[in-house]
Amino acid sequence: MAAAAIDSAMEVVPALAEEAAPEAAGLSCLVNLPGEVLEYILCSGSLTAADIGRVSSTCRRLRELCQSSGKVWKEQFRVRWPSLMKHYSPTDYVNWLEEYKVRQKAGLEARKIVASFSKRFFSEHVPCNGFSDIENLEGPEIFFEDELVCILNMEGRKALTWKYYAKKILYYLRQQKILNNLKAFLQQPDDYESYLEGAVYIDQYCNPLSDISLRDIQAQIDSIVELVCKTLRGINSRHPSLAFKAGESSMIMEIELQSQVLDAMNYVLYDQLKFKGNRMDYYNALNLYMHQVLIRRTGIPISMSLLYLTIARQLGVPLEPVNFPSHFLLRWCQGAEGATLDIFDYIYIDAFGKGKQLTVKECEYLIGQHVTAALYGVVNVKKVLQRMVGNLLSLGKREGIDQSYQLLRDSLDLYLAMYPDQVQLLLLQARLYFHLGIWPEKVLDILQHIQTLDPGQHGAVGYLVQHTLEHIERKKEEVGVEVKLRSHEKHRDVCYAIGLIMKHKRYGYNCVIYGWDPTCMMGHEWIRNMNVHSLPHGHHQPFYNVLVEDGSCRYAAQENLEYNVEPQEISHPDVGRYFSEFTGTHYIPNAELEIRYPEDLESVYETVQNIYSAKKENVE
């Protein structure tokens, strides 16, 4: 009976939603149902927000059921934007109708801004002030971010340009927020020793599009602590650490009891869970990100030590970080409390080496050199983070394929957030932006700051200032858009078109064309260095700008390219800057690229018809 009543009512609700003046019989059938049944129907998911608005205007009973803070509008919000529900407490009063309106407005504003970016910034990197529109938006930032995530999660191979700029905007927003949190964290007093929290900020800043939170990482560590407690219970069922509650910061003073904890930790971490130092791929940035250390169960000395330290302290063992050269360590005090201690009163723990306990002599043997006593001392949170970021900085300088130097840029930002007056790093940052041709105004600001800090850098600063000002003037002189017509006589030798998937005959890489020139437009030095003269047609042939599957951008001669008979998507970060869609055989240029090459799309269609359709017929 109840099911039949619900089914009957479900047929009435859409009709009421569509009619401004519903028939009395249909309305009576609906409103006479029990409140729980009506609420179930209205929350069933078959009605849109507009439907709910119309239904609620039909009578007082339905209006009361659809009150702005009630379950009906909460369900509408949850179904539309499920990822946002984690930001609301079950005990809070929430006007769900108002939240729905604000979120809807934020989504429209987000899409408007994303849509404008391609036209505004197609021919240059998004400048520093390019995000000013976003920073001035009204409403909660989480709503705006959620819309950007929705754009990124759009299915299929379409909306590539939208996704490209949504990613850039989201990257910027989250990094700014994380950097502000890190700066506030660094203002904590020296005795604030949340090493894990600082490490998570670094992880978040370098991976702003990943869902990384201190809460989630702490929950994973808590699960490891539970396993350690289980093992510890087998060693000593009355161990005081077993009575610790989550969040307590008690410490155990007896060495024997501390030793039992460390034995249990070593068994769980290295024997049961198979954590280990990453000797095979040591110089990989993933080794420094705490969420990756937990996922991959491997890392380098400093990240493994922070994990080990966090677990030990939760179980009452007061280990301390040691900024040992070439190999980060932990130290474990063996001396009596209050006594005067030296470096020989500690055991040193190598978390990278499966928790091995070392003497001073063994520590020196580990790195192959004698070191002073000062290097065995404990360091505070800021020094630990400095070393972590320093490692990332070194890795960023080693980058070869990634032409955006994103890791170097991120690590410089982090280091300068901690030590803003490091002249050499400021100079490196200015040179990097100058090399990439981005943010010339910011380059001038950095150079002015360097000159204030160290007038002795006048030579390097002066050179960069001069060339940056020249770059700004050239940008001002640029007028209009260069349009290249295939039908023009000087372009008669151009065989390929933008959007085609190609293969390099010599090097075998797959790529997509995003630009072309009728002849090589590079300077004499580049032509000489690339040995272009050795090609049969030399530099007097069309050259193509291509995005390569390894993430690089190259300038390839026509005679070195051929059609890729098995076209596939090109995994390159800048694909969305130039193309709006991948069809399975080729890329479709976005509006800005099509303006520059207005006749190429027709040529692409002809090529696809001739090359790929003919191949398909042969296969059949």
Q: Are residues 533 and 571 in the same domain?
A: yes
pLDDT tens digits, 332-351: 999 877 677 889 999 999 99
Q: Are residues 375 and 409 in the same domain?
A: no
Q: How confident is the model at residue 17 (pLDDT cuts 50, 70, 90)?
A: very low
What domain range includes position 138?
98-187
**How many domains does the chain contain in total?**
4
Pairwise CA distance, residues 84 & 144, whole Å: 11
State the average pLDDT over residues 74-89: 92
Q: Are residues 459 and 497 in the same domain?
A: no
Given a contact cutoff of 8 angstroms between Cβ atoms, the answer to whether 537 and 504 are in contact is no
- HSE-up (13 A, CA, CB side) for residue 165: 28
- CATH code (residue 429): 1.25.40.10
Q: Tokens 């201690």 belong to which residue?
A: 341
Domain-ending residue, one of 135, 167, 187: 187
Q: Are residues 593 and 462 in the same domain?
A: no
**Tell me, what DSSP letter sits at residue 392?**
H
pLDDT at 14 over 70: no
Please give the mean pLDDT across all residues of the chain. 89
Task: Say which residue, 598 or 2, is predicted with more confidence.
Answer: 598
Start-end of H helices in 247-367: 255-266, 290-296, 301-314, 360-367
Q: Are residues 404 and 324 in the same domain?
A: no
The answer to whether residue 512 is domain-embedded is: yes
- HSE-up (13 A, CA, CB side) for residue 516: 28
For residue 435, the model assigns a pLDDT of 86
Q: Are residues 237 and 351 in the same domain?
A: yes
Pairwise CA distance, residues 492 & 486, whole Å: 7
Pairwise CA distance, residues 172 & 233, whole Å: 47
The answer to whether residue 333 is domain-embedded is: yes
Pairwise CA distance, residues 54 & 376, whole Å: 72
Pairwise CA distance, residues 246 & 264, whole Å: 18
Q: What SS3 state is found at 456?
A: helix
Reported pTM: 0.86
pLDDT at 127 over 90: no
pLDDT at 6 over 80: no
Domain-ending residue, one of 361, 380, 399: 380
Judged on CB neighbours under 10 Å (0-12, 13-18, 19+), 81 is buried
- HSE-up (13 A, CA, CB side) for residue 287: 21
The answer to whether residue 36 is domain-embedded is: no
Domain-ending residue, one of 452, 478, 504: 478
Q: Are residues 327 and 431 in the same domain?
A: no
The answer to whether residue 52 is domain-embedded is: no
Q: Are residues 461 and 534 in the same domain?
A: no
| Signed CA dihedral, 65, 68, 73, 78: sign only | negative
Q: Are residues 237 and 360 in the same domain?
A: yes
**Helices and strands (H, E) in the chain, number of each type:** 26, 13
The answer to whether residue 8 is domain-embedded is: no
- CATH code (residue 498): 2.30.30.390
The answer to whether residue 575 is domain-embedded is: yes
Q: Which two tokens stand for residue 596?
A: 């520059």
The answer to whether residue 203 is domain-embedded is: no
Pairwise CA distance, residues 46 & 57, whole Å: 18
Q: Are residues 424 and 337 in the same domain?
A: no
Q: Tokens 């009361």 belong to which residue?
A: 64
Q: Are residues 254 and 343 in the same domain?
A: yes
Q: Are residues 277 and 376 in the same domain?
A: yes
Helix H or strand E segment including 501: strand 501-504
The answer to whether residue 71 is domain-embedded is: no
Q: From the centroid of its chain, how far is CA 138? A: 24
For residue 338, the model assigns a pLDDT of 67
For residue 390, the model assigns a pLDDT of 95
Note every long-range contact of 405-411, with CB atoms under 8 Å and residues 24 or more positions apart, other chains counting.
Answer: 405/432, 405/436, 407/206, 407/285, 408/432, 410/175, 410/205, 410/206, 411/206
pLDDT tens digits, 216-270: 999 999 999 999 999 999 999 999 999 887 766 788 999 999 999 999 999 999 9
